[in-house]
């Protein structure tokens, strides 16, 4: 077979995922992404402050509808994400292998764990309320019910090392409960995250629920941490110095802050703490009255 007959493959232009669309960075900037051996893989968008702000606008716009969707509906959509990922399994095995320098079998295990993680959180959407909510036995004639509600728009600084399983493990708990997310992907290995955007776009997930930015956490983080329309921030992928800086900025409007926690093994049982970190508890009171001779008693 002669060389001229070898088919030249088609490269993918990696783009941001904002408001359900795939824009380039408004700044026009890109940066080179390499595999673990230093070979060039792609030019990823170097997202700017403006891209981050656009992502917040998209996330805020999506919040009402997503938080207001039934838990059953959110669960089905999260499950649909797992279905779509399963179909793209080979692509992600390759991308994760290249990004993290893993053998094919190890990369496959990572992707399988990420798919299973979506399934796990798909099942949580209509159970977390029963686990953390409560009917409170107050000492008086009142109905008193506490229910969890999503806190709002959550900025997620995704883990730097675990570019896909870590990423899924921080996004899924945020949106399972009805929050919307602005995600800063792993700086060195953003490609699996940008490809995840393509999966989300075809999973019935409303545009804007998850927004994915590639670039520098140190550049975008401070703007998102001080943004007055962001309600919370997950610092999973921030180093100690950046985490402190962002936590200080987050105090401006008292964002809920999830500090970086050491994770030895992303495949371990995640528990519920990544969901509860971005939940508010609302407690509603109403008089119960009585049906006695006195009639209504509130």
- Does residue 71 touch another protein according to CB under 8 A? no
CA distance 1 to 155: 52
3-class SS at 280? strand
Considering only residues 247, 266, 274, 275, which one is a binding residue for another protein as defined by CB under 8 A? 247
Considering only residues 70, 130, 202, 283, which one is a binding residue for another protein as defined by CB under 8 A? 283
| Binding segment toward another protein, per CB under 8 A, in 41-49, 132-140, 155-163, 205-213 | 132-140
CB 168 within 8 A of CB 119: no
Based on CB atoms, which residue is closest to another protein, 40 or 298? 298
Binding mask 151-190 for another protein (x = CB under 8 A): x---------------------------------------
Output the smallest distance, CB 145 to another protein, in A. 9
Q: Total number of residues binding another protein (CB under 8 A)?
A: 35
CA distance 41 to 191: 9
Considering only residues 41, 132, 201, 263, which one is a binding residue for another protein as defined by CB under 8 A? 132
Tokens of 119: 């399934």
CA distance 271 to 128: 11
| Binding segment toward another protein, per CB under 8 A, in 10-18, 39-47, 136-144, 154-162 | 136-144
Rg (CA), the chain: 21
CA distance 189 to 229: 28
- Does residue 50 touch another protein according to CB under 8 A? no
Tokens of 82: 């797992």
Neighbours of 217 (CB within 10 A): 23
- Does residue 285 touch another protein according to CB under 8 A? yes
Per-position DSSP letters for 258-276, written without gaps between them: E-----S-TTS---SHHHH
Q: Give residues in contact with another protein (CB under 8 A).
A: 131-132, 134, 136-140, 142, 144, 146, 151, 231, 240, 243-244, 247-248, 250-254, 256-257, 273, 280-287, 298
């Amino acid at each position: 077979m002669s060389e001229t007959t070898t088919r030249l493959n088609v490269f993918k232009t990696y783009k941001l995922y904002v408001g359900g669309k795939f824009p380039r960075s408004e700044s026009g900037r890109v940066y080179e992404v390499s595999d673990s051996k230093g070979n060039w893989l792609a030019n990823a968008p170097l997202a700017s402050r403006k891209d981050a702000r656009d992502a917040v606008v998209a996330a805020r716009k999506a919040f009402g509808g997503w938080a207001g969707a039934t838990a059953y509906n959110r669960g089905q959509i999260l499950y649909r994400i797992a279905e779509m990922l399963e179909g793209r399994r080979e692509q992600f095995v390759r991308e994760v292998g290249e990004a993290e320098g893993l053998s094919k079998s190890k990369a496959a295990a990572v992707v399988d764990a990420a798919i299973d993680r979506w399934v796990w959180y798909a099942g949580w959407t209509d159970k977390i309320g029963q686990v953390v909510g409560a009917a409170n036995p107050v000492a008086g004639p009142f109905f008193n019910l506490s229910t969890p509600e999503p806190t709002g728009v959550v900025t997620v600084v995704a883990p730097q090392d675990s570019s896909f399983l870590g990423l899924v493990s921080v996004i899924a708990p945020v949106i399972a409960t009805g929050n919307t997310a602005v995600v800063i992907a792993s700086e060195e290995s953003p490609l699996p995250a940008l490809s995840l955007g393509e999966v989300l776009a075809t999973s019935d997930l409303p545009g804007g629920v998850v927004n994915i930015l590639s670039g520098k956490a140190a550049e975008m983080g401070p703007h998102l941490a001080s943004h007055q329309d962001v309600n919370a921030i997950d610092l999973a992928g921030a180093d100690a110095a950046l985490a402190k800086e962002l936590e200080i900025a987050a105090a401006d409007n008292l964002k809920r802050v999830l500090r970086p926690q050491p994770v030895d093994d992303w495949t371990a049982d995640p528990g519920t703490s990544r969901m509860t970190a971005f939940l508010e508890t609302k407690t509603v009171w109403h008089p119960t009255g009585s049906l006695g001779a006195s009639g209504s008693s509130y």
